[in-house]
Chains A and B, each alone.
Chain A
Amino acid sequence: MEPRVAVVGIGHAGFAPITAGVSYKELMFEAAQRAYFDAGVDPRTGVDSFVCCSEDFLEGTSIFDEYVPDQLGAVQRPVQTVAGDGLFGFVTALMLIRSGIASVVAVEAHSKVSDVRSLGAIEAFALDPVLNRPLGISTLNVAGLEMNAFLERTGLSEEHCAMVASKNRTNALDNPRAAYPAHLSVEDVDDSTPVSWPLRDLEVARRADGCVVMVLASEERARQLTEAPVWILGAGWASSSPSLESRLWGHAESTTRAAEMAYRLADVGDPAEEIDLAEVDDVYAFRELEHLEALGIATGPELASLLEAGDLDIGGEMSVNASGGSIGQGNLFEANGLVRVLECVEQLRGEAGERQVDEAYVAVAQSARQVPSTSSAVVILANDAGAGG
């Protein structure tokens, strides 16, 4: 995908169940400072445009755009909000650079969800006001409906979903930023309370606070700024039906479409063969499997044998959520997409420490917006070796 764009700086802060005493501004400042230091840029002079990702009701502020510029070094600069997941901000930064209007762009997303006292009610406020809300259903119910349809269709079992939760919590043990690392067996997950059957308590990612900031640059600037650029080979994003009544249950339709676009741009023909690691949405454990299928990495029956053989583990055929995913690191809401890119960048730079995946050249990061919505984004990333130099 020419002209090329790379990630040249990453920074994060928080990643804890609660970040008491620190405001969201201070959390953002810390992550931003780290990202700019990593990229070697001064935001006051060296960043052309800033993209922030947030949703008002998660912040408790109407027009949250108001409260972002100062702590990012973005005062009196081009700043915009993407009302959505960080990965949509990431592709927005990509577009800004490709359009020629910016050479270096910072993208930010955060979660200060510990400030929210009535999260369930706010999540349910995303449901259709006339047809769905009077039924009194929660977003967990919607996830349960989705899971059941997915298992019905693919023949995958509840145990396979429990294996995902167990794997991701265990992977998180090797991730110093993860908020929820644990030695958790498949039986532990299977024995946990069903919250909306077949979905079980330990298959739902716990909420966490945190912030991720990234710096993206054009090829020319990337070469000047870093010796280890991580290239964006392709990007895709898509929406599906927002209405519960007309969606294709049990299929991650928007991810399928986003992946098609990203693979086309990245010239990926056989994802299972050409991609070395995947960081995908697992806010509900079954969705990791649903998304891997939509990404064309394996079909339902194949996923069963991959899981059983440990081929999705770190060191397996295709490491999936080596970071621990959202189940291991915490659900950072609109920041989840950038959390997945963060892991891909660390892996492709060879900076992932104990959880480093061998021979990591090409990675896929995928994000899906929170239930009940149906928008997804997919990006294909590679280091110099993976991008063909």
Chain B
Amino acid sequence: MARRVAVVGAGMTKFVRRAQETGKELAWEASRAALDSCELTLDDVDAVCLTSAPDAFDGVHMKGEYLSDGAGAFGKPFIRTYVGGGSGVFTAIQAWYTVASGMADVVLAVAEEKMSSTQPHPQGAFLTIFDNVLERPLGPNLLWIFALEMNRYMSVYDLDKRDIAQIAVKNKRNAAGHPAALLGQSDITVEDVLGSETLAWPVQRLDVSPISDGAVAVVVASEEAARRITDRPVWIDGVGWNLDTTYWTNRDLVFPEYVANAARMAYDMAGVTEPRKQIHIAEPYDPFDYKELHHLEGLLLFEPGKAPEAARDGVLNRDGDLPSCPSGGLLGVGNPIAAAGLMKIAELYWQLRGDAGERQVPGTPERGVAQAWGDLMQVGTVVVMGRDGVSRSSGSSPPATSDTVAATSLPVVQTPPYATAGHPLSDAQFRGAVGAVDHAVDARYEWDAGVAVGRFLDGLAEGRILGRECRGCGRVLVPPRMFCERCFRATDSWVDVRHSGSVETFSICHVAWDMTPLDEPQLPAVISIDGSDGGFLHVLGEVAPDDVRVGMAVEAVWKPEVERTGSILDIAYFRPRATGD
């Protein structure tokens, strides 16, 4: 059986909009703070686990290699794992299996992100997350997919924007006392969020955590080593991760099934059978405010659609029954992507030791869950952590309540070790700095569309929408593929599907990828195609933005035949269709 594994130290830099430090320097500062916190040196570390989100942020190919010495990896076993936005929590999972497997006793896990290097806007790194053949020609940006998912969630559960905005308020208020936070604000209100600029309806500026620079590190150790290092280890009791299909337009975005799968995996391992009772602190991933609600449901802490109600009732507040993002989360502390995920692990470590200072959750929280999310709304990473002495043996213990606070609050013995690094630079300082180097990568590609999508594109040129039928599960796959991902067998035949469908979800986007305003808003939508079990991303036309509804019947408007080139753009757009025909 696997060895028990604990977190024994943690450190972080300040999260800032643009750091003076390089990525390597940020990684070093966080690593040093984490090692200092448990009085270890690099000589005590057997292996290094690193994570960081797209290489395009730092503007370095193989950036894990580039960052490695800053993360203390010189001469040591070193691997960079990478699951998009899920990476920060995943690197704690990586540290767990590196120790649990017996390959190392003490591991340094480091998450770094320096987003500010990307010009003119870090969102540029996300332009290439989309399918290179079917989606990129439409010019999608990152806000689209968040807006599409948020709208689906709000539409299905008939939620008001206030239900969503209250999360941004809670988290920015929670971060007010956080020494490393970029966005703490004790007096922010729901009206402030509702009054902020609309970027891609329903997403407004204060619904979003902004781009940031920063790094976080934790020290992870085997039971034997942990007992030697500290008298208060915090155990990693459960880990889970899960990746859903690439074809996000074929899924119902209303519920993150992949997060639920990852949560079940982690809970099973931790012996958690009733998560709502046995989890006392949650750090769900909150790059956008609705995501926290979405993820609390995915973590099986609330029924689908019920997290907003809990938020309204104060359940998620720091002194509530299930404090959620007591750190302040990404919305409050900041969002250097991978680092923000590992920050959630560090927060649970501090909270479960009673070291969280002003942010300390009252009562005697015994067990917490941290979660991150990423890729194309597709990956869930989950870690369950438990306080020493109760971990794994207290499966049925009652949750902490505010009634028990006075008698049993944990003593606050130290303030968390934050690095002083993370020096903010203004734009002017950055432009004027010696050694600021401009470099544009010459990155050119020519992708093979492949057999399935190649035929699909040929079909579009002919004015046909083609799907592939799988006789194993009976589905008609659009976009088509030569394999069925569910049955894992070759698909069987080509099928002409209809040129009509319905709006699964949509957004009204007012900004380009670099945040410059658009003259005319774009109307991206996921279209479910009639006669198939799938659909794809496209745009709407011949309709006023205010008239678009989820579920609306639409039809393809084709370009004239002579203008078609075998591209997703051979369909000019989808327009409303009179129903009943």
Contact = CB atoms under 8 A, between A and B. Distances in A.
B458 interface: no
A96 interface: yes
Contacts of A118: 442-444
Nearest to A209: B448
A187 B361 CA distance: 74
Contacts of A20: 448
Interface in B294-348: none
Contact of A62 (B54, B73, B90, B265): B54
Nearest to B483: A29
Contacts of A55: 55, 61-62
B100 A115 contact: no
B128 A23 contact: no
A141 interface: no
B67 to A, nearest CB: 8
Interface string A252-278: 011001100100000000000000000
B97 A96 contact: yes
A238 B46 CA distance: 11
Given A23-B447, A66-B375, A115-B448, A99 B97 contact: yes
Interface in A43-69: 43-44, 50, 55-58, 60-63, 65-69
A186 to B, nearest CB: 33
Contacts of A25: 450, 481, 483
A257 B60 CA distance: 26
A97 B262 CA distance: 18
A375 interface: yes
Interface string A58-96: 101111011111110111111111111000100110111
B68 A375 contact: yes
A50 B81 CA distance: 13
Contact of B97 (A22, A75, A95, A241): A95
Contacts of A240: 74-75
Interface residues of A, number: 87
A99 B73 CA distance: 22
A80 B83 contact: yes
B97 A101 contact: yes
A78 B81 contact: no
Interface stretch (B172-180, B236-244, B277-285, B416-424): B236-244
A19 B450 CA distance: 10
A76 B258 contact: yes
Given A100-B2, A129-B59, A257-B75, A242 B243 contact: no
B61 to A, nearest CB: 4
Given A55-B62, A96-B101, A237-B79, A69 B485 contact: yes
Interface string B250-269: 00000001100110010001
B251 to A, nearest CB: 10
Nearest to B127: A62
A239 B73 contact: yes
B485 A71 contact: yes
A97 B125 CA distance: 34
A28 to B, nearest CB: 9
- Overall SS of chain A's interface: mixed
Given A88-B79, A128-B66, A75 B486 contact: yes
A369 B65 contact: yes
B482 to A, nearest CB: 6
Contacts of A66: 84, 129, 246, 375-376, 378
A231 B67 CA distance: 33
B546 interface: no
B487 interface: yes
A228 B375 CA distance: 38
A69 B245 contact: yes
A174 B153 CA distance: 58
A75 B445 CA distance: 27
Nearest to B56: A62
A76 B242 contact: yes
A374 interface: yes
A302 interface: no
B446 interface: yes
Interface string A282-310: 00000000000000000000000000000
A29 B445 contact: no
Nearest to B72: A239
A125 interface: yes
Contacts of A129: 59-60, 437, 439
Nearest to B375: A66
A386 B80 CA distance: 32
A82 B79 contact: yes
A91 B104 CA distance: 13
A44 B83 CA distance: 21
Interface residues of B, number: 88
A238 B448 CA distance: 35
Most central of B62, B65, B83 by chain A CB within 10 Å: B62
Contacts of A79: 83, 241-243, 379
B448 A84 contact: no
Nearest to A246: B69
Interface string A339-361: 00000000000000000000000
Nearest to A67: B246
B64 to A, nearest CB: 5
Interface in B111-134: 125-129, 131-132
Interface string B433-462: 001010101111111111111100000000
Interface in B463-520: 481-483, 485-488
A94 B101 contact: yes
A144 B113 CA distance: 32
A137 B100 CA distance: 43
Most central of B55, B60, B448 by chain A CB within 10 Å: B448
Contact of B447 (A36, A42, A115, A261): A115
Contacts of B244: 69, 75-76
Nearest to B85: A63
B77 interface: yes
B369 interface: no
Contacts of A88: 79
A70 B247 contact: yes
Nearest to A117: B444
B82 A81 contact: yes
Interface string B75-115: 11111111110000010000011101111000000000000
A257 B332 CA distance: 43
Contacts of A375: 65, 68, 78
A286 to B, nearest CB: 21
A71 B488 CA distance: 8
Contacts of A63: 53-54, 82, 84, 129, 374-375
A141 to B, nearest CB: 16
Nearest to A239: B78
A262 to B, nearest CB: 11
B245 A126 contact: no
B562 interface: no
A58 to B, nearest CB: 8
B451 A22 contact: yes
Contact of B65 (A237, A242, A258): A242
Contacts of B97: 92, 95-96, 99, 101
Contacts of A261: 77
Given A70-B246, A82-B79, A242-B68, A21 B129 contact: no
A61 B128 contact: yes
Given A65-B379, A83-B64, 9 more contacts: A26-B450, A29-B482, A43-B488, A62-B55, A70-B485, A75-B243, A91-B79, A95-B103, A242-B66
29 contacts: A21-B448, A23-B453, A44-B488, A56-B56, A56-B128, A60-B447, A62-B128, A67-B131, A69-B245, A70-B247, A74-B243, A76-B245, A76-B258, A79-B241, A83-B82, A84-B64, A84-B80, A98-B102, A98-B103, A115-B445, A121-B442, A122-B442, A133-B437, A238-B77, A238-B78, A239-B68, A239-B69, A373-B62, A375-B68
The 10 closest A-B CB pairs, nearest first, are: A23-B450, A373-B65, A70-B485, A73-B488, A60-B445, A98-B101, A117-B444, A79-B243, A99-B100, A121-B442
